[in-house]
Amino acid sequence: MLYFDHAATTPPYPEVIQSMSEIMAQHYGNPSALHSAGEEAAKLLKRAREVCAGALSVSPKEIVFTSGATEGNNLAIKGTAMQYRSRGKHLVTTVTEHPSVYESFRQMEALGWEVTWIPVGPDGVVNAEQLAEQVRSDTVMVSVMHVNNETGAVQPLEKIGSLIKEKNHRVLFHVDGVQGFGKLPVELDNWKTDLYTLSSHKFKGPKGAGILYIRQGVTLFPLITGGSQENGHRGGTENVAAAAASAKAMRLASAAQADFYHKMNGLRNILFEKIAKMPEVMLNSTDSGAPHIVHFSYPGLKPEVLVHLMEQQGFLISTKSACSSKSSEPSRVLLKMGRDKDAASSGIRISLGWEHTENDVIQLCRALEQSADKLRSITARRR
């Protein structure tokens, strides 16, 4: 079985599995405890924080470990809105954000905050000038993802960060970096980023672990209260094994980023070329997007049926984001990109990983053609 769903989750590095197993077995102390077992765990946690900070070129004090990007995005958005509500109650984001961001803003809207939703073009990219025009004196936060999890569209973060800070230097800039880290360069300083969210299992680390960068000087209203862990940003006993394993995955993914981009870019170009020749297919990704995601629509065909036909031939692909894949609703992202309901209801996502070869991609495309032909034949007979 060939796995082409790396945007949903990635197979962990063997070193990550080994590291997590060893720590769980040998260093199970509570890092807040005063005895030697606790001190050993605290040292591992401190080292993990340093490694993560090094991969992002930031200070270890700016790293907060979370249970994943959903928590990290919720903390970044709601924590900022609540902490700085005396500055104003205006927030800005785009219409194609991941559900953990999109729903967080909808919740803040329901609680009385004003949210300005910025549209995107047919390529899924936001206009930086148009976004910056919406920043006001009472704007507290702007949140824009690095890479779209469905289409791979890459947002112009450096330009956005520069323009919004020129308009209002106090506005906080949050970036959901889940699909970008390890695939594209990360330049938090150049982007003028105040908050940056990561999920470990998207770069070959463990599930249930995430990282939130909080620029020094920024304070968040904590959503999980209790002890004073994570500099008071998040109460609860730290998951030392997951943090250490995430740090190892982060270091490995960061070191391999340039090679990953070169290899995935080559495979993506082959996919583009072959998929573009298939009848009735509409590409939703562009060659300026992230190197590991190719998204297209098969109007008139049920994507979930196509996914199952592909699995029968030994290929695992997906429809939209893993968080929304079981929903029968048309893709919100594709609708906001201007696709009609038919196209937005028939999206297919292929996401690449290290293990893939040119031959794997060619076989995948052949299986796609065969499965689509079979499905079209079945659909025609039922009409």
Cα separation, 345 vs 195, in Å, equals 33
First to last CA, the chain: 33
Return the pLDDT at 318.
95
Among 218, 236, 255, the domain boundary falls at 255
323 part of the active site: yes
What one-character-per-residue DSSP string does 267-310 give?
A: HHHHHHHHHHTSTT-EE---TTS-TTEEEEE-TTS-HHHHHHHH
Taking residues 356-371, report their average pLDDT.
95
Please give the share of the chain, as a percent, with pLDDT higher than 90. Answer: 84
Bigger pLDDT: 50 or 301?
50
Q: What are 33-92's pLDDT values in tens digits?
A: 899 888 999 999 999 999 999 999 999 999 999 999 999 999 999 999 999 999 999 999
Are 247 and 262 in the same domain? no
Return the pLDDT at 275.
92
Is pLDDT of 323 > 70?
A: no
Q: What are 136-179's pLDDT values in tens digits?
A: 999 999 999 999 999 999 999 999 999 999 999 999 999 999 99
Are 236 and 270 in the same domain? no
Return the pLDDT at 163.
98
Are 56 and 178 in the same domain? yes
Are 246 and 275 in the same domain? no
In a domain? residue 51: yes
Identify whether the C-beta of residue 367 lies closer than 8 Å to the C-beta of residue 315: yes
Are 179 and 78 in the same domain? yes
Are 182 and 290 in the same domain? no
Are 29 and 126 in the same domain? yes
Are 34 and 156 in the same domain? yes
Are 244 and 262 in the same domain? no
Return the pLDDT at 378.
66
Are 80 and 213 in the same domain? yes
Are 61 and 186 in the same domain? yes
| CATH number of the domain within which 296 lies | 3.90.1150.10
Q: What are 263-299's pLDDT values in tens digits?
A: 999 999 999 999 998 888 999 999 999 999 999 999 9
Which whole-number Å values give the CA distances from 33 to 36, 209, 237, 238, in the listed order? 8, 22, 10, 12
Q: What are 233-268's pLDDT values in tens digits?
A: 888 888 999 999 999 999 999 999 999 999 999 999
Return the pLDDT at 374.
83
Return the pLDDT at 116.
98
Q: What is the count of structural domains for the chain?
A: 2
In a domain? residue 125: yes
| CATH number of the domain within which 49 lies | 3.40.640.10
In a domain? residue 381: no
Is pLDDT of 326 > 90?
A: no
Cα separation, 131 vs 199, in Å, equals 26
Q: What integer best gives the mean pLDDT of the chain?
A: 94
In a domain? residue 382: no
Are 64 and 104 in the same domain? yes
Among 216, 236, 255, the domain boundary falls at 255
In a domain? residue 100: yes
Confidence of residue 383 (pLDDT cuts 50, 70, 90): low
Residue 378 φ/ψ, nearest 5 degrees: -65, -45
Return the pLDDT at 230.
85
Among 232, 255, 278, the domain boundary falls at 255
Bigger pLDDT: 69 or 228?
69
In a domain? residue 383: no
From 33, 316, 323, 362, the catalytic residue: 323
In a domain? residue 179: yes
In a domain? residue 45: yes
Return the pLDDT at 367.
95
Bigger pLDDT: 33 or 306?
306
Q: Residue 174 sits in which domain range?
A: 14-255
